[in-house]
A = this chain, B = another copy of it.
Amino acid sequence: MKIEEVNQTNQCGDAPLSKTLGELYLLPVPLSDVAPDSVMPASNICVASRIKWFLVENVRSARRFLKRCDPAIDIDILHFTVLDEHTDSSDVASMLEPLRQGHDMAVISEAGCPGVADPGALAVEQAHRLGARVVPLVGPSSILLALMASGFNGQSFSFLGYLPYAVAERDRTFKDMERDIRLRRRTQIFIETPYRNNKLIEELVRRLPGDLRLCVASDITGRRESISTLTLRQWKGRRYDYDKIPTIFLLYI
């Protein structure tokens, strides 16, 4: 029986999962410098303490996170492989070799939830190809927390990532966003390189109609957390400074 079939059988609840493969855990990390247990369930900490094989966006920050989860952890016996934006997707299959050998693995990104706005998705894709169980764990996502706190439509929304820089494409994106809001009542969520946050607000105020509302959600879960929803007309002339602070932007009517 092929691995894929074993896994498929389990989807129907008919048989236990193949024991020959490890499981791939998606282990969120804090967004800011807070204690892990203040932004994730205690059971995540247990997973973090138990797993020996990690795919990480940044080895140093992953080690620091694990040490904060469990100060007694022996970092030196853990295996870290870098999976970041420079990783060639053809290299990812071999990174999952421990999974094939029956070891559980975990993906840890630089901040927040693996697979959302980071390279973890490549490992998940491969794990599905193998037929391994993928286990997403609860943790802080700045996108989701910002959406909750915006007051905007959470029944229909798009996350666009970074807005394009090229003028023509950026123009089109602004037009598309407005149309998506007005016609489909769909909340638009996007991010900017943090040192350009203030400029982006100025640009939104200048280029889009004043009746649209902008939510600026900054340093989510951090000590300087600030979440404000105002019309673009109200943002105009306001005092604000989000320079270099991780921030999520949301637009709606």
Contact = CB atoms under 8 A, between A and B. Distances in A.
A140 to B, nearest CB: 5
A148 B124 contact: yes
A133 B225 CA distance: 10
Q: Size range of the interface on A?
A: 35 or more
A141 interface: yes
Given A37-B41, A138-B140, A239 B12 contact: yes
Nearest to A115: B148
Interface in A34-68: 37-43
Interface of A, helix, strand, loop or mixed by DSSP = mixed
A37 B41 CA distance: 6
A113 to B, nearest CB: 5
A154 B38 contact: no
A88 interface: no
B149 A124 contact: yes
Interface string A223-237: 011111110000000
Contact of A117 (B10, B155, B230, B239): B155
Given A38-B43, A41-B40, A158 B161 contact: no
Contact of A154 (B115, B128, B151): B115
A165 interface: no
Interface string A165-184: 00000000000000000000
Contacts of A75: none
A93 interface: no
A150 interface: yes
A249 interface: no
A22 interface: no
A20 B159 CA distance: 35
A139 interface: yes
Nearest to A176: B184
A42 B39 contact: no
A26 B149 contact: yes
A124 B138 contact: no
Given A134-B149, A134-B227, 11 more contacts: A9-B239, A13-B224, A26-B149, A39-B41, A116-B154, A118-B155, A120-B154, A121-B154, A127-B151, A133-B227, A158-B158
- Would you list the 8 A-B pairs with minimal beta carbon distance, nearest first? A125-B151, A124-B151, A116-B154, A128-B229, A115-B148, A136-B149, A136-B148, A136-B145
